[in-house]
Amino acid sequence: MKISRRTGILVLLLTAIAAVIVLKGGYPGNPEKPSACCASGPAGWSGVAPPSAQKLPLLLDLGAGKCIPCKMMTPILASLKADYAGKMNVVFVDVWVDPDAGRKYGVEMIPTQIFYDAEGNELFRHAGLYSREDILKKWKELGVDFMADTGRAP
| pLDDT tens-digit readout, 102-148 | 999 999 999 999 999 999 999 999 999 999 999 999 999 999 987 76
Same domain? 83 vs 11: no
pLDDT band per the 50, 70, 90 thresholds, residue 51? very low
Same domain, yes or no: 56 and 7: no
CA–CA separation, 29 and 60 (whole Å): 20
Same domain, 67 and 99: yes
Domain identity same for 6 and 74: no
Say yes or no: 141 and 73 in one domain: yes
pTM for this one? 0.64
pLDDT classification of 34: cutoffs 50, 70, 90:
very low
Q: Based on the fold, state whether residues 107 and 129 are members of the same structural domain.
A: yes
Contact 89, 56 (CB under 8 A): yes
Q: Find the domain containing 21 and state its range.
A: 2-33
Domain total of the chain: 2
Check whether residue 26 and residue 98 sit in a common domain: no
